[in-house]
A and B are shown apart, each in its own frame.
Chain A
Amino acid sequence: MRWSTFAHFFCHLSLLLASLCLTGCAPESESSSSLATPARYSAADESRFTASPPGTLAAYFFDVDQGDATLLAGPDFTILVDAGRHDRGDVVPYLQAAGVEKIDLLIGTHPHADHIGQISQVMAAFAVSEVWMSGDSHGSRTFENALDAILDSDARYHEPRAGEVTQVGSARIEVLNPTTVTGDFHAGCIAVRVVFGEVALLLTGDVETPNEWQMIQSGYPLQAQVLKLGHHGSSTSSSPEFLRAVRPEVAIYSAGVDNSYGHPHAEVIQRVTDLGLRVYGTPQHGTIRLLTDGRRYEIETRHGGTYLASENPGGININTAPKDELVRIAHVGPERAEQLIRRRPFRTLDDLKQLDGISDGRLREIKAQGLARVE
Protein backbone atom coordinates (compact mmCIF):
# COMPACT_ATOMS: atom_id res chain seq x y z
CA MET A 1 0.00 0.00 0.00
CA ARG A 2 1.43 3.31 -1.03
CA TRP A 3 1.32 5.90 1.70
CA SER A 4 -0.42 8.40 -0.53
CA THR A 5 -3.27 5.93 -0.85
CA PHE A 6 -3.31 5.59 2.89
CA ALA A 7 -3.29 9.35 3.35
CA HIS A 8 -6.08 9.84 0.84
CA PHE A 9 -8.04 7.21 2.61
CA PHE A 10 -8.39 9.39 5.67
CA CYS A 11 -9.80 12.11 3.52
CA HIS A 12 -12.68 9.83 2.58
CA LEU A 13 -13.52 8.86 6.09
CA SER A 14 -16.25 11.33 6.63
CA LEU A 15 -18.71 13.52 4.89
CA LEU A 16 -17.80 16.31 7.26
CA LEU A 17 -14.15 15.77 6.68
CA ALA A 18 -14.57 15.64 2.93
CA SER A 19 -15.91 19.17 2.92
CA LEU A 20 -12.92 20.31 4.93
CA CYS A 21 -10.32 18.48 2.91
CA LEU A 22 -7.30 20.49 2.00
CA THR A 23 -5.17 20.32 -1.09
CA GLY A 24 -4.08 16.85 -1.99
CA CYS A 25 -7.31 15.11 -1.18
CA ALA A 26 -9.07 13.40 -4.03
CA PRO A 27 -12.73 14.25 -4.43
CA GLU A 28 -15.21 11.88 -2.84
CA SER A 29 -16.24 10.30 -6.14
CA GLU A 30 -12.71 9.25 -7.00
CA SER A 31 -12.37 7.03 -3.98
CA SER A 32 -10.68 3.82 -5.03
CA SER A 33 -8.75 2.81 -1.96
CA SER A 34 -7.45 -0.71 -1.83
CA LEU A 35 -8.79 -0.88 1.71
CA ALA A 36 -12.32 -1.76 2.70
CA THR A 37 -14.69 1.13 3.17
CA PRO A 38 -14.78 2.07 6.84
CA ALA A 39 -17.73 3.24 8.85
CA ARG A 40 -18.37 6.81 7.96
CA TYR A 41 -18.43 9.61 10.41
CA SER A 42 -21.85 11.07 9.85
CA ALA A 43 -24.11 13.60 11.48
CA ALA A 44 -26.09 10.77 13.01
CA ASP A 45 -23.02 9.32 14.66
CA GLU A 46 -21.06 12.28 15.93
CA SER A 47 -20.17 10.68 19.22
CA ARG A 48 -17.81 8.24 17.57
CA PHE A 49 -14.35 8.63 16.21
CA THR A 50 -13.96 7.73 12.57
CA ALA A 51 -13.09 4.07 12.21
CA SER A 52 -9.45 3.28 11.59
CA PRO A 53 -8.60 1.24 8.50
CA PRO A 54 -8.26 -2.54 8.98
CA GLY A 55 -4.83 -3.69 10.04
CA THR A 56 -3.81 -0.36 11.52
CA LEU A 57 -2.96 0.81 14.98
CA ALA A 58 -4.86 3.85 16.18
CA ALA A 59 -3.20 5.52 19.17
CA TYR A 60 -5.46 8.00 20.90
CA PHE A 61 -3.99 10.59 23.22
CA PHE A 62 -7.29 11.59 24.79
CA ASP A 63 -7.92 15.13 25.88
CA VAL A 64 -8.57 14.41 29.55
CA ASP A 65 -7.57 17.81 30.94
CA GLN A 66 -4.59 17.72 33.34
CA GLY A 67 -4.17 13.96 33.28
CA ASP A 68 -3.24 11.05 31.05
CA ALA A 69 -5.18 8.45 29.11
CA THR A 70 -3.70 6.83 26.00
CA LEU A 71 -5.47 4.12 24.04
CA LEU A 72 -3.64 1.82 21.65
CA ALA A 73 -6.27 0.16 19.50
CA GLY A 74 -4.73 -2.29 17.06
CA PRO A 75 -6.05 -4.98 14.76
CA ASP A 76 -5.66 -7.62 17.47
CA PHE A 77 -5.03 -5.72 20.70
CA THR A 78 -6.53 -3.03 22.89
CA ILE A 79 -4.25 -1.44 25.45
CA LEU A 80 -5.11 1.47 27.71
CA VAL A 81 -2.24 3.31 29.37
CA ASP A 82 -3.63 5.35 32.27
CA ALA A 83 -7.24 6.24 32.86
CA GLY A 84 -7.55 9.97 33.33
CA ARG A 85 -8.30 12.09 36.36
CA HIS A 86 -10.25 11.04 39.44
CA ASP A 87 -12.62 14.03 39.21
CA ARG A 88 -13.82 13.56 35.65
CA GLY A 89 -15.86 10.89 33.86
CA ASP A 90 -14.51 11.22 30.36
CA VAL A 91 -12.48 8.06 29.81
CA VAL A 92 -15.27 5.49 29.39
CA PRO A 93 -17.13 7.72 26.88
CA TYR A 94 -13.87 8.23 24.96
CA LEU A 95 -13.25 4.49 24.86
CA GLN A 96 -16.80 3.88 23.67
CA ALA A 97 -16.37 6.56 21.02
CA ALA A 98 -13.24 4.77 19.85
CA GLY A 99 -15.20 1.53 19.50
CA VAL A 100 -13.53 -0.31 22.39
CA GLU A 101 -15.38 -3.45 23.44
CA LYS A 102 -12.83 -5.09 25.70
CA ILE A 103 -9.37 -4.27 27.00
CA ASP A 104 -6.50 -6.74 26.81
CA LEU A 105 -4.14 -4.74 28.96
CA LEU A 106 -4.76 -1.79 31.26
CA ILE A 107 -1.65 -0.09 32.59
CA GLY A 108 -1.83 2.27 35.56
CA THR A 109 1.62 3.78 35.23
CA HIS A 110 1.73 5.03 38.84
CA PRO A 111 -0.77 5.69 41.63
CA HIS A 112 -1.33 9.44 41.21
CA ALA A 113 -4.98 10.47 40.80
CA ASP A 114 -4.40 12.14 37.43
CA HIS A 115 -3.31 8.78 35.96
CA ILE A 116 -5.35 6.07 37.67
CA GLY A 117 -8.34 8.35 38.25
CA GLN A 118 -10.98 6.38 36.36
CA ILE A 119 -9.62 2.84 36.52
CA SER A 120 -12.62 1.79 38.59
CA GLN A 121 -15.07 3.16 35.99
CA VAL A 122 -13.13 1.53 33.15
CA MET A 123 -13.12 -1.82 34.96
CA ALA A 124 -16.87 -1.51 35.50
CA ALA A 125 -17.58 -0.71 31.85
CA PHE A 126 -15.29 -3.17 30.04
CA ALA A 127 -13.95 -6.67 30.45
CA VAL A 128 -10.25 -6.21 31.19
CA SER A 129 -7.95 -9.21 30.79
CA GLU A 130 -4.87 -7.95 32.60
CA VAL A 131 -3.90 -4.96 34.73
CA TRP A 132 -0.42 -3.67 35.32
CA MET A 133 0.40 -1.38 38.21
CA SER A 134 3.80 -0.18 39.33
CA GLY A 135 3.64 -1.82 42.77
CA ASP A 136 3.86 1.42 44.71
CA SER A 137 1.03 1.76 47.21
CA HIS A 138 -0.88 4.98 47.80
CA GLY A 139 -3.21 5.93 50.64
CA SER A 140 -5.77 7.71 48.48
CA ARG A 141 -9.40 6.70 47.97
CA THR A 142 -8.74 6.84 44.23
CA PHE A 143 -6.03 4.21 44.52
CA GLU A 144 -8.13 2.09 46.86
CA ASN A 145 -11.11 2.29 44.50
CA ALA A 146 -8.87 1.13 41.65
CA LEU A 147 -7.64 -1.85 43.70
CA ASP A 148 -11.20 -2.73 44.72
CA ALA A 149 -12.28 -2.69 41.08
CA ILE A 150 -9.42 -4.97 40.04
CA LEU A 151 -10.10 -7.32 42.95
CA ASP A 152 -13.78 -7.48 41.95
CA SER A 153 -12.86 -8.37 38.37
CA ASP A 154 -11.38 -11.47 36.78
CA ALA A 155 -8.38 -9.55 35.50
CA ARG A 156 -4.89 -10.91 35.90
CA TYR A 157 -2.57 -8.63 37.88
CA HIS A 158 1.09 -7.91 37.26
CA GLU A 159 3.78 -5.47 38.34
CA PRO A 160 6.17 -5.33 35.37
CA ARG A 161 9.86 -4.58 35.68
CA ALA A 162 12.40 -3.14 33.27
CA GLY A 163 13.60 -5.66 30.74
CA GLU A 164 10.34 -7.57 30.41
CA VAL A 165 8.93 -7.97 26.93
CA THR A 166 5.28 -8.90 26.41
CA GLN A 167 3.50 -9.58 23.17
CA VAL A 168 -0.12 -8.43 23.09
CA GLY A 169 -1.47 -9.47 19.72
CA SER A 170 0.77 -7.87 17.13
CA ALA A 171 2.06 -5.24 19.57
CA ARG A 172 5.33 -5.76 21.41
CA ILE A 173 5.48 -4.09 24.81
CA GLU A 174 8.99 -3.50 26.13
CA VAL A 175 9.12 -2.43 29.76
CA LEU A 176 11.82 0.19 30.38
CA ASN A 177 11.03 1.31 33.93
CA PRO A 178 10.95 0.69 36.88
CA THR A 179 13.70 -1.64 37.96
CA THR A 180 12.18 -1.55 41.44
CA VAL A 181 9.77 0.61 43.43
CA THR A 182 10.80 2.74 46.37
CA GLY A 183 7.77 4.84 47.33
CA ASP A 184 8.84 7.63 44.98
CA PHE A 185 5.91 7.24 42.58
CA HIS A 186 7.53 8.96 39.62
CA ALA A 187 10.74 6.96 39.96
CA GLY A 188 8.61 3.80 40.10
CA CYS A 189 6.43 4.78 37.16
CA ILE A 190 5.90 2.17 34.43
CA ALA A 191 7.49 3.22 31.13
CA VAL A 192 6.93 1.21 27.98
CA ARG A 193 8.09 1.18 24.41
CA VAL A 194 5.31 -0.13 22.21
CA VAL A 195 6.38 -1.52 18.86
CA PHE A 196 3.94 -2.10 16.00
CA GLY A 197 5.67 -3.14 12.81
CA GLU A 198 8.43 -0.63 12.26
CA VAL A 199 6.77 2.10 14.28
CA ALA A 200 7.57 2.60 17.97
CA LEU A 201 5.88 4.75 20.59
CA LEU A 202 7.48 5.63 23.89
CA LEU A 203 5.16 6.19 26.83
CA THR A 204 7.01 7.14 30.00
CA GLY A 205 4.17 8.34 32.21
CA ASP A 206 5.62 10.76 34.75
CA VAL A 207 9.17 9.37 34.71
CA GLU A 208 11.66 12.11 35.54
CA THR A 209 15.23 12.78 34.46
CA PRO A 210 17.10 10.46 36.89
CA ASN A 211 15.10 7.50 35.58
CA GLU A 212 15.48 8.72 32.01
CA TRP A 213 19.20 8.41 32.69
CA GLN A 214 18.74 4.94 34.08
CA MET A 215 16.86 3.93 30.93
CA ILE A 216 19.69 5.26 28.77
CA GLN A 217 22.29 3.44 30.88
CA SER A 218 20.33 0.19 30.71
CA GLY A 219 21.07 -0.16 27.02
CA TYR A 220 17.48 -1.06 26.14
CA PRO A 221 16.42 0.20 22.72
CA LEU A 222 14.74 3.57 23.29
CA GLN A 223 14.39 4.79 19.73
CA ALA A 224 10.81 5.74 18.90
CA GLN A 225 9.22 7.83 16.19
CA VAL A 226 6.65 9.06 18.67
CA LEU A 227 7.49 10.20 22.19
CA LYS A 228 4.87 11.16 24.68
CA LEU A 229 6.63 13.84 26.68
CA GLY A 230 7.07 12.67 30.26
CA HIS A 231 5.11 14.25 33.12
CA HIS A 232 2.82 16.36 30.92
CA GLY A 233 5.78 18.18 29.36
CA SER A 234 7.24 19.22 32.72
CA SER A 235 10.89 20.24 32.91
CA THR A 236 11.34 17.40 35.41
CA SER A 237 11.48 15.18 32.32
CA SER A 238 12.48 15.09 28.64
CA SER A 239 16.15 15.84 29.25
CA PRO A 240 18.27 16.63 26.17
CA GLU A 241 20.16 13.35 26.66
CA PHE A 242 16.95 11.38 26.73
CA LEU A 243 15.65 13.10 23.62
CA ARG A 244 18.90 12.27 21.86
CA ALA A 245 18.57 8.63 22.85
CA VAL A 246 14.96 8.36 21.71
CA ARG A 247 15.42 10.36 18.48
CA PRO A 248 11.69 10.99 18.08
CA GLU A 249 10.07 12.67 15.10
CA VAL A 250 6.92 13.63 16.94
CA ALA A 251 6.41 14.75 20.53
CA ILE A 252 2.98 14.61 22.15
CA TYR A 253 1.98 15.88 25.55
CA SER A 254 -1.18 15.62 27.59
CA ALA A 255 -2.03 18.56 29.85
CA GLY A 256 -4.93 20.77 30.87
CA VAL A 257 -5.61 24.22 29.50
CA ASP A 258 -4.19 26.79 31.96
CA ASN A 259 -3.18 24.09 34.43
CA SER A 260 -1.80 24.99 37.87
CA TYR A 261 1.70 23.78 37.07
CA GLY A 262 2.45 25.56 33.81
CA HIS A 263 2.70 22.21 31.95
CA PRO A 264 4.14 21.87 29.42
CA HIS A 265 7.12 23.91 30.51
CA ALA A 266 8.45 26.39 27.94
CA GLU A 267 12.00 25.01 28.13
CA VAL A 268 10.81 21.54 27.14
CA ILE A 269 8.82 22.89 24.20
CA GLN A 270 11.87 24.95 23.21
CA ARG A 271 14.05 21.84 23.45
CA VAL A 272 11.88 19.68 21.23
CA THR A 273 11.23 22.52 18.80
CA ASP A 274 14.96 23.15 18.48
CA LEU A 275 15.38 19.49 17.58
CA GLY A 276 12.90 19.99 14.77
CA LEU A 277 10.22 17.74 16.22
CA ARG A 278 6.58 18.20 15.42
CA VAL A 279 4.77 18.86 18.68
CA TYR A 280 1.17 18.15 19.53
CA GLY A 281 -0.56 18.84 22.83
CA THR A 282 -4.04 18.14 24.11
CA PRO A 283 -4.58 21.72 25.36
CA GLN A 284 -4.14 23.02 21.83
CA HIS A 285 -5.21 20.11 19.68
CA GLY A 286 -7.71 18.25 21.81
CA THR A 287 -7.57 14.48 21.40
CA ILE A 288 -4.67 13.53 19.17
CA ARG A 289 -4.82 10.37 17.09
CA LEU A 290 -1.96 8.61 15.42
CA LEU A 291 -2.76 6.07 12.73
CA THR A 292 -0.13 3.69 11.48
CA ASP A 293 0.05 0.66 9.27
CA GLY A 294 3.32 -0.29 10.95
CA ARG A 295 5.42 1.51 8.36
CA ARG A 296 4.16 5.04 7.94
CA TYR A 297 2.07 7.08 10.28
CA GLU A 298 -0.33 9.93 10.14
CA ILE A 299 -1.40 12.25 12.92
CA GLU A 300 -4.83 13.71 13.19
CA THR A 301 -6.25 16.14 15.67
CA ARG A 302 -9.81 16.63 16.68
CA HIS A 303 -11.53 19.95 16.24
CA GLY A 304 -15.19 20.39 16.94
CA GLY A 305 -15.96 16.70 16.71
CA THR A 306 -14.26 16.28 13.36
CA TYR A 307 -10.86 15.03 12.51
CA LEU A 308 -8.73 17.27 10.39
CA ALA A 309 -5.60 15.77 8.98
CA SER A 310 -3.13 18.19 10.49
CA GLU A 311 -0.41 16.52 8.50
CA ASN A 312 -2.13 17.52 5.28
CA PRO A 313 0.41 17.93 2.51
CA GLY A 314 2.85 20.50 3.78
CA GLY A 315 0.65 22.17 6.37
CA ILE A 316 -0.85 25.63 5.92
CA ASN A 317 1.00 27.96 3.58
CA ILE A 318 0.63 31.36 5.19
CA ASN A 319 1.12 33.08 1.85
CA THR A 320 -1.81 31.39 0.10
CA ALA A 321 -4.17 29.78 2.62
CA PRO A 322 -7.65 31.24 2.99
CA LYS A 323 -8.79 32.73 6.27
CA ASP A 324 -10.70 29.64 7.40
CA GLU A 325 -7.49 27.63 7.21
CA LEU A 326 -5.25 30.26 8.75
CA VAL A 327 -7.32 30.30 11.94
CA ARG A 328 -6.20 26.74 12.64
CA ILE A 329 -2.72 28.07 13.27
CA ALA A 330 -1.98 28.67 16.95
CA HIS A 331 -2.62 32.26 18.07
CA VAL A 332 -4.29 33.14 14.77
CA GLY A 333 -7.91 34.16 15.17
CA PRO A 334 -10.18 35.69 12.52
CA GLU A 335 -8.88 39.22 13.10
CA ARG A 336 -5.21 38.27 13.00
CA ALA A 337 -5.84 36.09 9.94
CA GLU A 338 -7.14 39.16 8.11
CA GLN A 339 -4.12 41.18 9.17
CA LEU A 340 -1.89 38.31 8.04
CA ILE A 341 -3.53 38.26 4.62
CA ARG A 342 -2.99 42.05 4.27
CA ARG A 343 0.72 41.75 5.14
CA ARG A 344 1.54 39.08 2.55
CA PRO A 345 3.92 37.92 1.28
CA PHE A 346 6.03 36.48 4.10
CA ARG A 347 9.54 35.20 3.52
CA THR A 348 9.92 33.22 6.75
CA LEU A 349 7.73 32.22 9.68
CA ASP A 350 9.72 34.67 11.80
CA ASP A 351 8.08 37.47 9.80
CA LEU A 352 4.83 36.63 11.59
CA LYS A 353 6.21 38.79 14.40
CA GLN A 354 5.14 41.75 12.25
CA LEU A 355 1.58 40.92 13.28
CA ASP A 356 0.15 42.64 16.35
CA GLY A 357 0.45 40.43 19.40
CA ILE A 358 2.80 37.79 17.98
CA SER A 359 5.66 37.67 20.47
CA ASP A 360 8.71 35.41 20.42
CA GLY A 361 6.86 33.03 22.74
CA ARG A 362 3.81 32.83 20.51
CA LEU A 363 5.97 32.45 17.43
CA ARG A 364 7.64 29.50 19.15
CA GLU A 365 4.27 27.91 19.80
CA ILE A 366 3.22 28.48 16.21
CA LYS A 367 6.37 26.69 15.09
CA ALA A 368 5.87 23.97 17.68
CA GLN A 369 2.40 23.32 16.34
CA GLY A 370 4.02 22.42 13.03
CA LEU A 371 1.08 23.58 10.92
CA ALA A 372 2.23 26.90 9.46
CA ARG A 373 4.71 26.96 6.60
CA VAL A 374 5.97 29.51 4.08
CA GLU A 375 6.18 29.01 0.35
Chain B
Amino acid sequence: MTEAKAVLDRIEDQQHAVLLVGEQQHEQVVPASTLPAGAKPGDWLRVRFEGDTVLAISVDRQETEQTQQRIADKLARLRQRGRQT
Protein backbone atom coordinates (compact mmCIF):
# COMPACT_ATOMS: atom_id res chain seq x y z
CA MET B 1 0.00 0.00 0.00
CA THR B 2 1.24 3.48 -0.81
CA GLU B 3 0.05 6.92 0.14
CA ALA B 4 0.36 10.00 -2.01
CA LYS B 5 -0.65 13.63 -1.90
CA ALA B 6 -2.98 14.74 -4.62
CA VAL B 7 -4.99 17.80 -5.49
CA LEU B 8 -8.59 17.55 -6.65
CA ASP B 9 -8.37 19.42 -9.94
CA ARG B 10 -11.98 19.10 -11.04
CA ILE B 11 -15.09 16.99 -11.16
CA GLU B 12 -16.22 16.28 -14.71
CA ASP B 13 -19.94 16.00 -15.43
CA GLN B 14 -20.67 15.54 -11.70
CA GLN B 15 -19.25 11.99 -11.94
CA HIS B 16 -15.54 11.84 -12.54
CA ALA B 17 -13.09 13.24 -10.01
CA VAL B 18 -9.83 14.24 -11.66
CA LEU B 19 -6.93 13.96 -9.22
CA LEU B 20 -3.43 15.25 -9.91
CA VAL B 21 -1.22 12.96 -7.87
CA GLY B 22 2.17 13.77 -6.41
CA GLU B 23 4.67 16.43 -7.43
CA GLN B 24 4.46 15.11 -10.99
CA GLN B 25 0.73 15.94 -11.01
CA HIS B 26 -0.04 12.57 -12.57
CA GLU B 27 -3.67 12.55 -13.64
CA GLN B 28 -5.90 9.89 -12.14
CA VAL B 29 -9.66 9.81 -12.68
CA VAL B 30 -11.77 8.19 -9.96
CA PRO B 31 -15.53 8.09 -9.40
CA ALA B 32 -16.63 11.26 -7.64
CA SER B 33 -18.46 9.01 -5.16
CA THR B 34 -15.09 7.92 -3.72
CA LEU B 35 -14.31 11.47 -2.57
CA PRO B 36 -14.77 12.35 1.08
CA ALA B 37 -17.88 14.40 1.77
CA GLY B 38 -17.36 18.08 1.15
CA ALA B 39 -14.16 17.72 -0.90
CA LYS B 40 -13.91 20.60 -3.37
CA PRO B 41 -11.71 21.30 -6.36
CA GLY B 42 -8.48 22.85 -5.11
CA ASP B 43 -8.45 20.69 -1.95
CA TRP B 44 -5.37 18.65 -1.20
CA LEU B 45 -5.99 15.01 -0.50
CA ARG B 46 -4.19 12.01 0.92
CA VAL B 47 -4.82 9.07 -1.35
CA ARG B 48 -4.03 5.51 -0.35
CA PHE B 49 -3.34 3.17 -3.25
CA GLU B 50 -2.96 -0.55 -3.69
CA GLY B 51 -1.19 -0.62 -7.03
CA ASP B 52 -3.27 1.70 -9.20
CA THR B 53 -6.42 1.11 -7.19
CA VAL B 54 -7.54 3.87 -4.87
CA LEU B 55 -8.38 2.46 -1.42
CA ALA B 56 -9.19 5.60 0.53
CA ILE B 57 -9.16 9.36 0.14
CA SER B 58 -9.13 11.96 2.88
CA VAL B 59 -8.79 15.73 2.79
CA ASP B 60 -5.48 17.11 4.08
CA ARG B 61 -6.77 20.26 5.76
CA GLN B 62 -3.37 21.64 6.68
CA GLU B 63 -1.89 21.21 3.20
CA THR B 64 -5.05 22.65 1.68
CA GLU B 65 -4.99 25.76 3.85
CA GLN B 66 -1.27 26.41 3.46
CA THR B 67 -1.31 25.97 -0.30
CA GLN B 68 -4.44 27.97 -0.87
CA GLN B 69 -3.15 30.81 1.28
CA ARG B 70 0.16 30.89 -0.58
CA ILE B 71 -1.63 30.91 -3.93
CA ALA B 72 -4.16 33.51 -2.80
CA ASP B 73 -1.23 35.79 -1.90
CA LYS B 74 0.21 35.39 -5.38
CA LEU B 75 -3.13 36.14 -6.96
CA ALA B 76 -3.39 39.25 -4.78
CA ARG B 77 0.02 40.41 -6.05
CA LEU B 78 -1.14 39.95 -9.61
CA ARG B 79 -4.31 41.91 -8.96
CA GLN B 80 -2.24 44.70 -7.47
CA ARG B 81 -0.20 44.81 -10.65
CA GLY B 82 -3.36 44.85 -12.77
CA ARG B 83 -3.10 46.44 -16.18
CA GLN B 84 -0.25 48.77 -15.23
CA THR B 85 2.93 48.03 -17.12
A and B: real partners?
A: yes
Q: Quick check: is B42 within 8 A (CB to CB) of the other chain? A: yes
Determine if A140 and B70 form an interchain contact, defined as CB atoms under 8 angstroms apart.
no
Determine if A151 and B67 form an interchain contact, defined as CB atoms under 8 angstroms apart.
no
Q: Quick check: is A193 within 8 A (CB to CB) of the other chain? A: no
Partner of B9, one of A142, A234, A261: A142
A239→B68 CA distance, assembly (Å): 34
Q: For residue B68, which residues in chain A have a CB less than 8 angstroms away from its CB?
A: 137, 139
Q: Quick check: is A138 within 8 A (CB to CB) of the other chain? A: yes
Determine if B83 and A113 form an interchain contact, defined as CB atoms under 8 angstroms apart.
no
Q: Which residue on B lies nearest to A234, using beta carbons?
A: B13
Q: Quick check: is A30 within 8 A (CB to CB) of the other chain? A: no
Q: For residue B79, which residues in chain A have a CB less than 8 angstroms away from its CB?
A: 157, 159
Q: Quick check: is B25 within 8 A (CB to CB) of the other chain? A: yes
Q: Quick check: is A249 within 8 A (CB to CB) of the other chain? A: no
Determine if B78 and A113 form an interchain contact, defined as CB atoms under 8 angstroms apart.
no
Q: Which residue on A lies nearest to B14, using beta carbons?
A: A236
Q: Quick check: is B16 within 8 A (CB to CB) of the other chain? A: yes
Residues A87 and B25 in contact in the complex (CB < 8 Å), given A142-B20, A151-B77: yes
Q: Quick check: is B34 within 8 A (CB to CB) of the other chain? A: no
| Main SS class of interface, A | loop
Q: Quick check: is A298 within 8 A (CB to CB) of the other chain? A: no
Q: Quick check: is A143 within 8 A (CB to CB) of the other chain? A: yes
A157→B70 CA distance, assembly (Å): 18
Q: For residue B83, which residues in chain A have a CB less than 8 angstroms away from its CB?
A: 130, 156-158
Interface of chain B residues 26 through 80 with chain A (CB within 8 A): 26-27, 29, 40-44, 64, 67-68, 70-72, 74-75, 77-79
Residues A113 and B64 in contact in the complex (CB < 8 Å), given A151-B74, A159-B79: no
Residues A139 and B44 in contact in the complex (CB < 8 Å), given A147-B75, A156-B85: yes
Interface of chain A residues 63 through 96 with chain B (CB within 8 A): 86-87
Q: Quick check: is A280 within 8 A (CB to CB) of the other chain? A: no
Q: For residue A159, which residues in chain B have a CB less than 8 angstroms away from its CB?
A: 79
Residues A138 and B77 in contact in the complex (CB < 8 Å), given A86-B20, A86-B25: no
Interface of chain A residues 196 through 239 with chain B (CB within 8 A): 234-236
A234→B11 CA distance, assembly (Å): 13
A137→B43 CA distance, assembly (Å): 11
Determine if B78 and A143 form an interchain contact, defined as CB atoms under 8 angstroms apart.
no
- Measured CB to CB, the closest approach of chain B to A232, in angstroms, equals 9
Determine if A139 and B71 form an interchain contact, defined as CB atoms under 8 angstroms apart.
yes
Q: For residue A142, which residues in chain B have a CB less than 8 angstroms away from its CB?
A: 9, 20, 25
Q: Which residue on B lies nearest to A232, using beta carbons?
A: B12
Determine if A138 and B78 form an interchain contact, defined as CB atoms under 8 angstroms apart.
no
A258→B71 CA distance, assembly (Å): 34
A299→B75 CA distance, assembly (Å): 38
Q: For residue B40, which residues in chain A have a CB less than 8 angstroms away from its CB?
A: 183
Q: Which residue on B lies nearest to A261, using beta carbons?
A: B12
- Measured CB to CB, the closest approach of chain B to A186, in angstroms, equals 9
Q: For residue B25, which residues in chain A have a CB less than 8 angstroms away from its CB?
A: 86-87, 113, 140-142
Q: List 16 A-B contacts (CB under 8 A).
A: A87-B25, A112-B10, A112-B41, A113-B10, A113-B27, A133-B78, A137-B72, A137-B75, A138-B71, A139-B64, A140-B20, A141-B25, A142-B25, A154-B85, A157-B79, A260-B12
Other A-B pairs, 19, CB within 8 Å; known A142-B9, A147-B75, A154-B85: A111-B42, A113-B18, A113-B20, A113-B25, A133-B78, A138-B9, A139-B44, A139-B67, A140-B7, A140-B25, A144-B70, A148-B74, A156-B82, A157-B79, A157-B81, A157-B82, A158-B82, A260-B16, A261-B15
Chain A interface (Cβ within 8 Å of chain B)? 86-87, 111-114, 130, 133, 135, 137-144, 147-148, 150-151, 154, 156-159, 183, 185, 234-236, 260-261
8 smallest CB-CB distances across A and B, nearest first, come from A139-B42, A156-B83, A147-B74, A157-B78, A140-B7, A112-B10, A138-B42, A261-B12
